[in-house]
Amino acid sequence: MTRLIIRIAAVCLALGVAVAAAFSGARWVTRTAVEVPDHTASAEAGAYLFAAAGCATCHTAEGRDATPLAGGRELATPFGTFYGPNITPHAEHGIGSWSDADFIRALRQGVAPDGRDYYPAFPYASYTRLSDADLLDLKAYLFSLPAAAEPNRAHDLPFPFGFRPLLTFWKLLYLEEGPMAPEPGRSEMENRGAYLVQAAGHCGECHSPRNALGAPIGDMALAGTEEGPEGRAIPNITPHRETGIGRWSADDIVFLLRAGMLPDGDFVGGGMGEVVSENTSHLTEDDLRAIAAYLQMMPAVENAVGASDDEDDETSRSDDDW
Ligand code: HEC
Ligand code: HEC
């Protein structure tokens, strides 16, 4: 049922975009010129950011012998199956021919060098908040890695989601272009935490519930969802005492992000296991403390997720998510 509604909404959007484009006679992509700031890029700083942003997972196929970042990872979503592309510096199959401006535009605006809009399965709606300097360091790091000649695999998206011009409309509605600025009322540590959670760590891509068009619901940030990536329940990580992590200490949060162990001694699984191994376990103690400080200052949102874990999977799933 939810999917049917999503499809109907998407078809309406497609028609809207087509009509708007026909009337304007313009190209449909909205994009502004990208200015490349003066910055001496550091591959070493980029390596740290690469971990903080968890770029490895979606761009590396599963299996031990997969070539890092050569693409092919299958990403199942309610909109179809995406395959992470090759982002090694291979000139033909990767991003080896990209300029700095191309790279900034892709992560900040979700636009490819040839003008195509990217799907938000590539979490640029989060990465748009990264600073220019961090983006340039990230590119320097990627370009320091070996190139792999792995061709990209086309996404497998049912009608109408395969129609990329829909994305222009999605972006007009939902993409709030960065970079993000520090908030004056917050300590330096809280601002650093906000940057790590919202921009780099893209925690909300999994932990925030989404509307039918796949956009996060603003006042529910990090409040968990019954149907996250791969259809599984994702816990509420706001400081709500009953339904979130309000009873956790800062040490509990830091320990989980470093070692993957919950306060009750269990290890996290699902996507979070990979977030810990590829991303948060590489962060400095200061950065983990900053994430904990920011999570603890978020508004507590009451949202019980996965309460009916023991029941049959189908009956426990809410039909209203996504
Ligand atoms: C949640 C999965 C996911 C994560 C995490 C992710 N990506 Fe991607 N990325 C994708 C998908 C899916 C696409 C393809 C989007 C499309 O085709 O519209 C993509 C596309 C790209 C592209 C464009 C490639 C091309 O050939 O046009 C670049 C560059 C890129 N990602 C870099 C990054 C970097 C750098 C990071 C970390 C900061 C990152 N990605 C993290 C899923 C992800
Ligand atoms: C790819 C999806 C994904 C991303 C991205 C992600 N998480 Fe998670 N997270 C999960 C899942 C799934 C679980 C539940 C794991 C389990 O219970 O085995 C989880 C669990 C947690 C928990 C434990 C909550 C509890 O009540 O047990 C915390 C804390 C947490 N994540 C914090 C974060 C932070 C901070 C980030 C960003 C740095 C983040 N997560 C990014 C998927 C994700």
DSSP 69-80: TSB--EEEETTE
Distance from residue 274's CA to the centre of ligand 2 (Å) = 10
pLDDT tier for residue 20 given thresholds of 50, 70 and 90: low
pLDDT tens per residue across span 248-269: 999 999 999 999 999 999 999 9
Rounded to the nearest angstrom, the distance between the alpha carbon of 257 and the centre of ligand 1 is 23
> Do residues 317 and 226 make contact, with C-beta atoms less than 8 angstroms apart?
yes
Residue of minimum CA distance from atom 29 in ligand 1: 87
Residue whose CA lies nearest to ligand 1 atom number 41: 55
Tell me which ligand sits closest to the C-alpha of residue 170. 1
Q: What pLDDT is stored for residue 212 in this prediction?
A: 85
Question: What is the distance between the alpha carbons of residues 300 and 187, in angstroms, rounded to a whole number?
Answer: 19
Mean pLDDT, rounded, of the chain: 88
Any idea which of 22-36, 39-53, 284-298 has the lowest mean pLDDT?
22-36
Residue 242: name the closest of 256, 220, 223 by CA: 223
> Tell me: the pLDDT tens digits for 179-202?
999 999 999 999 999 999 999 999
Map residue 220 onto helix, strand or coil: helix
The confidence band for 232, taking pLDDT boundaries of 50, 70 and 90, is: confident
Q: What percent of the chain has pLDDT over 70?
A: 85
Tell whether the torsion through CA atoms of 224, 209, 301 and 200 is positive or negative. Answer: positive
Q: State residue 281 phi and psi, 5-degree precision.
A: -65, -15
Q: Which atom of ligand 1 is nearest to the CA of 155?
A: 17
- Centre of ligand 2 to C-alpha 267, Å, is 11
| Residue-level pLDDT at 308 | 52
Which amino acid residue places its CA nearest to atom 7 of ligand 1? 122
pLDDT at 313: 39
Is the CB–ligand 1 distance for residue 49 below 6 Å?
A: no
Tell me what the mean pLDDT of segment 83-112 comes to. Answer: 98
Asked if the model's pLDDT at residue 303 lies above 80, the reply is yes
The answer to whether residue 2 scores a pLDDT higher than 60 is no
Please report the atom of ligand 1 found closest to the CA of residue 82. Answer: 12
Per-residue burial over 82-112, b if 16 or more Cβ lie within 10 Å, else e, is: bbbbbbbbbeebbbeebebebbbbbbbbbbb
Name the band, by pLDDT with cuts 50, 70 and 90, for residue 17. low
Q: How high is the pLDDT of residue 304?
A: 95
Look at the block and give the residue holding tokens 């709606």.
Answer: 125
Pocket of ligand 1 contains residue 46 by CB under 6 Å: no
Answer yes or no: is pLDDT of 315 > 50: no
pLDDT in tens, 134-181: 999 999 999 999 999 999 999 999 999 999 999 999 999 899 999 999
- Tell me which of 255 and 9 has the higher pLDDT: 255
Task: State the distance from the centre of ligand 1 to the C-alpha of 93, rounded, in angstroms.
Answer: 14
Atom index in ligand 2 nearest the CA of residue 54 equals 5
3-state secondary structure of 216: strand
Q: What is the rounded distance in angstroms from the CA atom of residue 188 to the CA atom of residue 230?
A: 35
Q: Does 238 or 315 have the greater pLDDT score?
A: 238
Domain segments of the chain as ranges: 2-174, 188-306
Q: Distance, CA 97 to ligand 2 centroid (Å)?
A: 35
269 close to ligand 2 (CB < 6 Angstrom): yes
pLDDT value for 11: 56
- Give the H or E element holding residue 275: helix 270-278
Atom 25, ligand 1: residue with shortest CA distance: 85
CA–CA distance, 303 with 220 (Å, rounded to integer): 9
The CATH architecture to which 188-306 belongs is: Orthogonal Bundle (1.10)
